[in-house]
């Protein structure tokens, strides 16, 4: 796997941890940037256009939760969150805000680098037939350009949200179980809780549905999973 064209931003206030992570990433050919507080992290995210962000939750000034929330208003850059707590609610909160993965301290730098690589494999679109634009009403997904729009207006999706939407739109009417959708997101055997799918679907509905409380595009099949509406469904 080739390194990113853009640097990886490491937002971590512990300078020793930041330097260690940077060293391991640079060995794999990645360029890195460092931020040691929340304000600096947001500034670099806007000005340096990083291709990936490693984000500590407990940053001084603006914490990781708020940074993630603000980033998702203008960017779909992959985000790996770092935390000292191993509680499910923290993981679910991070994912609900748009993070792509979650690592608990202390961690192995080698494992963290492999997590970064795995996320990049997931968020990069797979090859598809040329010009196969998927359309349903006002929703359009262009795999060649990796763009999604609603009513002609572009929307920002995280890598995981994009992959889920592409999977569902590619087979309208087909019911996908949660485990099938997890397999599409985690192609390399990562351990992920089932609820992650529900979190991503909820965020997707907020972005593409006219009324997320009464979805008409991504439909729930109770007790099993989800399906995308067929062309003749209102």
155 is a domain residue: yes
Query: What pLDDT does 234 receive?
Result: 52
Decide the pairing of beta strands 225-228 and 218-221: antiparallel
What is the residue range of 209's domain?
134-228
Query: Is 220 part of any domain?
Result: yes
Average pLDDT over residues 63-70: 92
pLDDT for 131 = 53
Q: What's the Cα-to-Cα distance from 155 to each of 69, 82, 129, 150, rounded to whole Å?
A: 16, 27, 22, 7
Radius of gyration of the chain (CA): 18
In a domain, 145, yes or no: yes
Question: Is residue 233 a part of any domain in this protein?
Answer: no
In whole angstroms, what is the distance from residue 26 CA to residue 109 CA? Answer: 12
Q: Are residues 187 and 211 in the same domain?
A: yes
| Residue 145 sits in the same domain as residue 216 | yes
Q: Are residues 13 and 116 in the same domain?
A: yes
Shared domain for 21 and 114, answered yes or no, is yes
Q: 117 and 24, same structural domain?
A: yes
Number of structural domains found in the chain: 2
Question: Residue 203: which CATH number?
Answer: 1.10.10.10
User: Do 162 and 91 fall within a single domain?
Assistant: no
pLDDT (0 to 100) of residue 125: 55
How does the average pLDDT of the chain come out, rounded?
85
Out of 123, 157, 180, a domain closes at 123
Which residues fall within 8 angstroms of residue 30, CB to CB, at 6 or more apart? Answer: 3, 4, 7, 8, 52, 116
What percent of the chain clears pLDDT 70, i.e. is strictly above it?
A: 86
pLDDT at 128: 44
Q: What is the pTM of this model?
A: 0.56
pLDDT, one tens digit per residue, over 128-155 is 444 578 999 899 999 888 899 999 999 9
């Amino acid at each position: 796997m080739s390194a990113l064209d853009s640097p990886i931003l490491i937002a971590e206030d512990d300078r020793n941890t930041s330097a260690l992570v940077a060293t391991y990433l640079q060995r794999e050919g990645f360029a890195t940037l460092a931020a040691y507080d929340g304000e600096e992290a947001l500034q670099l995210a806007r000005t340096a256009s990083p291709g990936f962000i490693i984000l500590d939750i407990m940053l001084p000034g603006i914490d990781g939760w708020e940074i993630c929330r603000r980033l998702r208003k203008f960017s779909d850059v992959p985000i790996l969150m770092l935390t000292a707590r191993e509680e499910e609610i923290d993981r679910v909160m991070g994912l609900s805000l748009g993070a792509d993965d979650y690592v608990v301290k202390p961690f192995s730098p080698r494992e963290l680098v492999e997590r970064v690589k795995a996320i990049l494999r997931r968020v990069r679109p797979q090859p598809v037939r040329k010009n196969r634009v998927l359309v349903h009403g006002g929703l359009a997904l262009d795999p060649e350009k990796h763009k999604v729009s609603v009513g002609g207006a572009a929307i920002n999706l995280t890598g995981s949200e994009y992959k889920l939407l592409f999977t569902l739109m590619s087979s309208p009417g087909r019911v996908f179980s949660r485990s099938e959708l997890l397999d599409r997101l985690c192609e390399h055997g990562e351990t992920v809780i089932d609820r992650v799918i529900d979190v991503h679907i909820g965020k997707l509905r907020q972005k593409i549905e006219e009324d997320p409380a009464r979805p008409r595009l991504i439909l729930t099949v109770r007790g099993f999973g989800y399906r995308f509406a067929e062309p003749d469904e209102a």
